[in-house]
Amino acid sequence: MVMSFGGGSVCEEAFAKLLRAEADNVRGVVGMVVSLLGGERSVVSVNEDVLFPAASLIKLPILWHVLCDVNEGRLALDNVFPLEGCRKVGGFGILKDLHDGLQLSLEDLVTVMIVLSDNTATNMLIDIAGMEAINGTIARLGMRRTALRRKMMDAEAKARGLDNVTSPGDVTLFFEHLLDGTGLSGELRNKMLDILKRQQCNNKFPAGLPEGTVLAHKTGDLPGTEHDAGVLFHRGEPAAILVALTKDLEQNQDGVRFCQRVAGAVFARCCGE
């Protein structure tokens, strides 16, 4: 395990030690970046450059690319696309259970891709935007360890060794770009944050936070893998970027509990009164 810490005060060192202890308790591989944004910025990281299965975190750069296409006029949020039976896939989401021919706006698709982690919506957006173009955006964002190599639920591609991958550092970079508004209008940046704040997969970070805490985040999970990543807000302002990735877990619940404890520790450090 590679652990690094940028800070210096006794309080920050104690916080880093706490997070390190939480990572050490996980029976599996852990990657984490916690970046405190208020005052003098400090960062705690564990295995930030290690590759992990992206699971549904790959939906973050897909969202970014699609909204960049909107920003640049290649797409519009009110463009409409029909739901077709041949596009439906299993796993997370609601579209697989809805009737063929349903007319869905681009805004509908990006919303359910994130809020419900809808796999059918994700695959439709990959078709609309193009896998190569999405990977081009990933490269422009500087996410050097992230790649979209297959659609959701494509078991055949996975059997051929094609999997979507990312790293804790790359996911952190995504949220840094989001807060900076890189390449997006203020309106689209706010829309992205609003969608992420409406996340309904909330068994990880949110379960470790007090009720009413504002978090813009995205989860991911596979057998042996549990991820959560996002921006924690306090008094209306971004207070921390927190990214927790796991793989090779003996039990998935260990990864879920790890995410909850990381979120609780971050809240206590940067938002506690």
Q: Using one digit for the tens of pLDDT, what is the confidence trace for 129-176?
A: 999 999 999 999 999 999 999 999 888 988 898 999 999 999 999 999
pTM (predicted TM-score): 0.93
Residues above pLDDT 70, as percent of the chain: 95
Is the pLDDT at 181 greater than 90? The verdict is no
- Residue ranges and CATH numbers for the domains of the chain are 1-50+167-273 (3.40.710.10), 57-161 (3.40.710.10)
Per-residue model confidence (pLDDT) at position 1:
47
Per-residue model confidence (pLDDT) at position 9:
55
Q: At what angle do helices 186-197 and 59-71 cross, to 10 degrees?
A: 150
pLDDT tens digits for range 21-35:
999 999 999 999 999
Band (pLDDT 50/70/90 cuts) for residue 39 is low
Is the pLDDT at 10 greater than 50? The verdict is no
Is the pLDDT at 15 greater than 70? The verdict is yes
Per-residue model confidence (pLDDT) at position 143:
98
pLDDT tens digits for range 45-88:
999 999 999 999 999 999 999 999 999 999 999 999 999 988 89
Per-residue model confidence (pLDDT) at position 14:
86
Helix (H) or strand (E) holding 247: strand 237-247
Per-residue model confidence (pLDDT) at position 5:
44
Residues 6+ apart with CB under 8 A from 227: 52, 55, 56, 57, 219, 220, 221, 244, 245, 246, 255, 259
